[in-house]
Amino acid sequence: MLIIKLVFKFVFTYLLFIPVTYAYIDSGSGSIIVQTMIAGVLSIAFAIKMYWYKLKAAFFKLIGRKKEPLTISEEHDESESE
């Protein structure tokens, strides 16, 4: 963990003091950057979707509220009673 912190500090310090560069980002590079950002957002959304029930259970456990998950037959019974 200490090594990771040191590497992070070194990289951050290095990036903080980079001299001014006059670089050109063409439309192809900009397109790749935008695609990477969109892919990152969609990946996070997909991960949240995949772990939604685990995250929800952890949240309810954190706030102290217990909610028993319904089984398929209980959900079906509730929808018929309405």
Helix-helix angle 52-63:27-50, to 10 degrees: 60
Rounded to whole angstroms, the Cα distance separating 22 from 19 reads 10
Does this model's pTM top 0.75? My answer is no
Listing DSSP states for 17-67 in one string gives: TPPP------HHHHHHHHHHHHHHHHHHHHHHHHTHHHHHHHHHHHHT---
Note the pLDDT of residue 38: 97
CA distances from 26 to 5, 7, 18, 34 (A): 34, 31, 21, 12
Q: What is the pLDDT of residues 17-64, one digit of tens each?
A: 877 777 777 888 889 999 999 999 999 999 888 888 888 888 888 887
Region 4-9: mean pLDDT is 86
